Amino acid sequence: MTTVLAMTHAGYVAAGWIATVGILGGYAFATIRKGRRLSRVVPPEERRWT
Amino acid sequence: MTTTPTETTPPAPPASSTSSPLTRVLGTLAGVGVVLVAWLGLVASPRDIVQKDSVRLIYVHVPAVTWMYVAVFLCAFASFMWLRKRTDGWDVLAASAAELAALLTGLGLITGMVWGRPTWGVYWVWDARLTSTAILFVLLLGYQALRRYPADPQSRSRMAAVLGLLLVPNAAIVHFSVDWWRGLHQDATVSKIDVSIEGLMLFTLAASFVVMGIVCAWLLVHRFRVGWLERRAERHHLDAALADRQADADPSAGVAVGGPSS
């Protein structure tokens, strides 16, 4: 943590990394949640991966 | 009387999600990889002599943009295959890849702007690379809008496939824009890796490419399955609506179903 705080341009570096992890993580969460909701509607035999 | 465990244990219900052994492996690798790359990129790798610590943004910006190209080409390939085969799988793959491409393009623009401020002194400049990327992003958003447009599914898929093919020349313009026009943006990083990059920086960049690839593959598999489920759910909904309508139109069917036996 001290290494990160001692950086030059720490705010920009943090913003770029947080945006990347946040956007990809948020998209993954939304996709998985949508998949779970839809899986309850569709019979298991039509879910080829199960 | 004794019962064996196999008789008493009910069969496990099928997983009600888009997960499978493949996605669990990919997800675990992605999680471990993100932690490793974060440590390498933010702590272990050295700062650049010129750009100082802002160079650490290279480990998120360049992989995002590189995999954006892959997603765009995958969308175009799946669109081409759908135009030939007209099967649900290719259509869903094209839609999934386009959504991932839009996400990565947006991410590339955001991280690029954040990197541009300490490097160039401005968040945005109408440079050829930035402008062409913004146009590609707008096209990808248009693609998403087209996919959600309430129209006949076949004609909607056909229009989306044509737009999917048109993404390729745009992606090529984005890639070669730094060679064709003089601007603020540096030359292509991937095809012309500067051999003077320090060993650990190069290793971290390579690791970030691999990890971003795993994350993208994991997201694409889940997104493809969600798209597949959407199609199936729509069909089930339609079948149920048709059955209801038939039952309404033919009251004798309702008597037969409700029947004297019930």
Note the pLDDT of residue B41. 94
Note the pLDDT of residue B261. 39
> Whole-model pTM?
0.85
- Looking at chain B, the whole-number percentage of residues with pLDDT higher than 90 is 63
Does residue B64 surpass a pLDDT of 90?
yes
Here the ipTM equals 0.90
Q: Answer yes or no: are the C-beta atoms of B253 and B243 closer than 8 Å.
A: no
Note the pLDDT of residue B216. 97
**With an 8 Å Cβ cutoff, are B236 and A4 in contact?**
no
Q: Which residue has better confidence, B181 or B38?
A: B38
Nearest CA in chain A to B45: A3
Sort out which chain B residues have CB atoms less than 8 A from A1's CB and list them: none
What whole-number distance in Å separates Cα of residue B219 and Cα of residue B23?
Answer: 9
Note the pLDDT of residue B116. 92
- A10 Cα to chain B: minimum distance (Å): 7
Q: Which residues contact A31 (CB under 8 A, 6 or more apart)?
A: B18, B219, B222, B223, B226
Token pair recorded at residue B133: 């990327």
Indicate the residue type of B109. L
Token pair recorded at residue B84: 């030939």
Does residue B210 surpass a pLDDT of 70?
yes
Q: pLDDT-based confidence at B249, cuts 50/70/90?
A: confident
Note the pLDDT of residue B1. 40
Q: Answer yes or no: are the C-beta atoms of B238 and A50 closer than 8 Å.
A: no
What whole-number distance in Å separates Cα of residue B126 and Cα of residue B1?
Answer: 82
Note the pLDDT of residue B2. 44
Note the pLDDT of residue B47. 87
Number of residues assigned to chain A: 50
What whole-number distance in Å separates Cα of residue B91 and Cα of residue B127?
Answer: 34
Q: Which residue has better confidence, A47 or A4?
A: A47
**With an 8 Å Cβ cutoff, are A49 and B219 in contact?**
no
| A4, A23, A38 member nearest B229 (Cβ) | A38
Q: pLDDT-based confidence at B151, cuts 50/70/90?
A: confident
Q: What is the DSSP string of B100-157?
A: HHHHHHHHHHHHHHHHHHHHHS-S----HHHHHHHHHHHHHHHHHHHHHS-S-HHHHH
Q: Which of A8-12, B36-40, B68-72, B154-158 has the lowest mean pLDDT?
A: A8-12
Per-domain boundaries in chain B: 59-188+204-240
Q: Which residues contact A44 (CB under 8 A, 6 or more apart)?
A: A50, B14
Determine the average pLDDT of the residues in B117-132: 91
Q: Which residue has better confidence, B64 or B178?
A: B64
Note the pLDDT of residue B258. 42
